[in-house]
Amino acid sequence: MKYMRTIFLALMLVCLIYSVSIYMVGSGTFSFVIWIAGAVFFGLAFFFSGNDRWLKVPTALRRTSYFLIAVVLVILITCFAAMISHFGDKGSKGLDYIVVLGAQMRNYGPSIIFQYRLDAACDCLSENPDTICIVSGGQGANESVSEGDGGKEYLVSKGIAPDRIIAETKAMDTTENIAYSLEIMKEAAGTDSKLRIGIVTNNFHVFRGVHLAKKLTDDEVYGIAAYTVPWYLPNNMIRECFGIIRDFRKMRL
């Protein structure tokens, strides 16, 4: 138990330090609160593991706690496994369209996470000169330009011809990113056309993007995984678990 208390204390400190690093990014989300909650959990575990305090807790409450912890662990492990299964997605040659799922635009240009998606799209477009790109994303309250327009401007600055890029500027979440982009494709190619489509997003987000798309279309769908800074990957994967749980019924597995 002494060693467990040391582990709990170390995990509490790690969660606190990590929450500060996530807060300092200034992404506009409150995901740092997740890590504060983690610190509180491990702090309580540290407290109750001393002086046999946990054994003094009523048996029913202890069993309920064990059950809830087990359920959370199963959900997390399942979601992590699903995400990791798509970390290596590289798409396919000769895709008809690729869809870049939008992320935050800042005053200076795409956020770093969006930039990685756009860079992956740029590589794909350079290697496949006939592929058309749709950059999807509307304008949020804290954005000076829509994600679609900002992403298109970035790709043009990287040497991609403007006529190969379509800006979709209405979508406000991942499902709408894909649904509105599919409407654009079908309007251009015809509803009877069988398309080959790539979904471009950061590695932790590919699973949800691909399986949402498979639910919305019978076209061939491929994932294209963009880079994520390893330090921020735990935070992004924890956040993505909530997205997977929320959108689970909208996906085709």
Tell me the percentage of the chain whose pLDDT exceeds 90.
91
Q: Is the pLDDT of residue 34 over 80?
A: yes
- Among 123, 118, 198, 202, which Cα is nearest to 153's? 118
pLDDT greater than 70 at residue 1? no
pLDDT at site 248: 95
44-48 contact pairs (CB < 8 A, 24+): 45/8, 46/5, 46/8, 46/9, 46/12
How does pLDDT run across 89-142, given as a tens digit for each residue? 999 999 999 999 999 999 899 999 999 999 999 999 999 999 999 999 999 988
Helix (H, G, I), strand (E, B) or coil at 145: coil
Residue 29 has pLDDT above 80, yes or no: no
Domain ranges of the chain: 2-84, 97-250
Question: What mean pLDDT comes out for the span 13-34?
Answer: 90
Buried b (16+ CB within 10 A) or exposed e, 22-46: bbebebeeebbebbbebbebbbebb
Q: Mean pLDDT over all residues of the chain?
A: 95
Any residues with CB less than 8 A from the CB of 76 and at least 6 apart, and which?
238, 241
Q: How confident is the model at residue 2 (pLDDT cuts 50, 70, 90)?
A: confident
Residue 167 has pLDDT above 90, yes or no: yes
Which pLDDT score is estimated for 28?
Answer: 66
Residue 51, C-beta contacts closer than 8 angstroms, at least 6 positions apart: none
List alpha helices for the chain, DSSP H. 2-25, 32-48, 59-84, 112-127, 147-157, 174-189, 206-216, 233-247
Instruction: Name the residue among 170, 140, 169 with its Cα closest to residue 152.
Output: 169
Check: CB of residue 45 under 8 Å from CB of residue 8.
yes
Which class does domain 97-250 fall in? alpha beta
Distance in angstroms (rounded) separating the CA atoms of residues 237 and 66 = 23
- Cβ proximity of 79 and 52 under 8 Å: no
* pLDDT of the residue at 142: 85
Q: CA-to-CA distance for 205 and 155, rounded, in angstroms?
A: 21
pLDDT of residue 26: 74
pLDDT tier at 88, thresholds 50, 70, 90: very high
Give CA–CA dist 173/178, Å, rounded: 9
Instruction: Give the pLDDT confidence score for residue 176 in this predicted structure.
Output: 97
Please check whether residue 84 is in contact with residue 121, taking contact to mean a CB–CB distance below 8 angstroms.
Answer: no
Indicate the pTM of the whole model: 0.92
Mean pLDDT of 75-80: 98
Residue 182: predicted pLDDT = 96
